[in-house]
Amino acid sequence: MSETRSIFSGAAAPHGETEGASANGPYASTPPVVFGPARQERLFDVVVTRGGTVESRHRVHAAVVDANGTLLEGVRAPLTETWWRSCAKPFQVMPLVRSGGLERLGWGAPQLALACASHGGEPEHVALAESMLAGIGLEEGDLACGAHEPLASRGVRLLRESGDRLTRLHNNCSGKHAAMLAQAVLRGEPTSGYEQAAHLVQRTALATIATWAGIRPAAIGVGVDGCGVTVFSLPLANMALSYARLAHASTHGDEPSRRILQAMTSHPFLVGGTDRFDTRVMEAVGGNVVCKLGAEGVHTFAIIDRGIGFALKVEDGSPRAQFVAVLAMLAEYGALPSPLPESLRDSAVRAVRNTRGEQVGEVFVSVAPLGAPAHRHVS
């Protein structure tokens, strides 16, 4: 493992940056947001049918918020607090963007997209993450994340065919970790322990998230994510607000916001991968939706030109319900093309099949109770 602290002269506090300055931006001086009652309230769940009746239900909580902090819609309990998981990545990298770090590193949109990614561990992802580390004088062993099998089926196949070993670079969060290490290097901070809550990199991420989510830092829960780095807990409505603000700011003169969203929407493969949900959504809508999944059924997304943010949590963490619910909400707000592209149809209504491959049921959004007949609306 490399012991390199900084390969940049004068690396500490780039461009006069201080710990609190990572929260700079159009919302830096705004007070915490207190949400009023939702303008619209409703209940829906994702049901699994067999023989035309509901066999299982996945409870869904969601919030839809505009950039002014108006709670446009609440599904069940929009103020539910939960772990934000990988949905926070655009804000975890924002201090690097806002401080001029991309310019100092010579990084562009591909590196920024990978920093925001939960990538599929395909060769393109691995090579880019490795080059990001090499550019700051570090290597795979400096990553605090562990190794896991690629999340994309193509990544799994190509790794097995190549005979190469599984590395930390295959971790879906390796781009985020590389960007965090870059922040530490540019600030002249130790790279060892960069993933811990007490490190300056994580403190600036917390400050940034608090600003954009309209919540006091002390009200944000702090834990350890699956990749080993700090993870944050906050209400769904505040998650949705952060994405609404990011979308609005990106179209109203805030260059760091624009760069983050442009990187994600113009390089959707790097954000996910060949068969990854976020990639398929962003490819289908032509750049007007930014979409970021998290583990355990949490998802945050935004309609960029309308400045509307969404945050959704499937209560039992089921991914089979998560993608169905996301597409249902985007369709409700007219953000999906019609007819729905083939790449998204299987996620909008999922088939339940038996061991012979015969379809015996479906997974879709419904209000039907357990054991009741349920039929999806044909669109």
User: Which two three-digit tokens encode residue 356?
Assistant: 């012979």
- Quick one: pLDDT at residue 1? 42
Bridge partners (DSSP) of residue 301 are 291, 310
Residue 282 tokens, joined = 């962003």
Burial 313-346 (b: 16+ CB within 10 A, else e): bbbeebebbbbbbbbbbbbeeebbeeebeeebee
* CA 39 vs CA 64, 78, 307: distances in Å: 10, 12, 17
Both tokens assigned to 113: 């997209």
Task: Render pLDDT for 198-238 as a digit per residue (tens, 0 to 9).
Answer: 999 999 999 999 999 999 999 999 999 999 999 999 999 99
Distance CA(279)–CA(343), nearest Å, equals: 10
**Ordered DSSP codes for 117-166:** ------HHHHHHHHHHHHTTT--GGG--SPP---SSHHHHHHHHHHTPPP
Q: Look up tokens 């190549």; give the residue.
A: 162
What's the rounded Cα separation, in Å, for the pair 152 and 218? 37
- 296 in the Ramachandran plot: left (φ > 0), alpha (ψ -120 to 50) or beta? left
pLDDT, one tens digit per residue, over 275-302 is: 999 999 999 998 999 999 999 999 999 9
Closest listed residue to residue 247, CA positions, set 268, 267, 264:
264
The pLDDT tens digits of the residues spanning 46-60 come to 999 999 999 999 999
Q: Is 220 within 8 Å of 209 (Cβ atoms)? A: yes
pLDDT for position 313: 98
β-partners of residue 57 are 47
Nearest to 30 by CA among 67, 1, 83, 76: 67
98's CB contacts (< 8 A; 6+ apart) are: 22, 24, 25, 256
Tokens of 324: 């169905």
What's the CA gap between 19 and 33, in Å, rounded? 23
* Structure-token pair, residue 138: 């570090």
Question: What number of helices (H) and strands (E) belong to the chain?
Answer: 14, 12
The residues, any chain, with a CB within 8 Å of residue 14's CB and separated by 6 or more, are 99, 100, 101, 104, 186, 187
* Residues 28 and 208: beta-carbon distance below 8 Å: no
Residue 42: beta bridge partners?
Answer: 75
Stated as kind and residue range, the H or E segment containing 117 is none
Cα 83 from Cα 183, distance rounded (Å): 24
Spans of the chain, pLDDT less than 50: 1-23, 378-379
Q: What is the CA radius of gyration of the chain?
A: 21
pLDDT at site 377: 61
The conformation of residue 31, written as its DSSP 8-state character, comes to: P
Closest CA to 240 of 177, 336, 306: 306
Contacts of residue 301, Cβ cutoff 8 Å, sequence gap at least 6? 243, 281, 289, 290, 291, 292, 309, 310, 326, 330
CATH architecture of the domain 43-366 equals 3-Layer(aba) Sandwich (3.40)
Q: Report the amino acid identity of residue 265.
A: T
The DSSP call for residue 164 is P
What whole-number distance in Å separates Cα of residue 153 and Cα of residue 236? 31
Closest by CA to 279, choosing from 152, 140, 169, 130, is 152
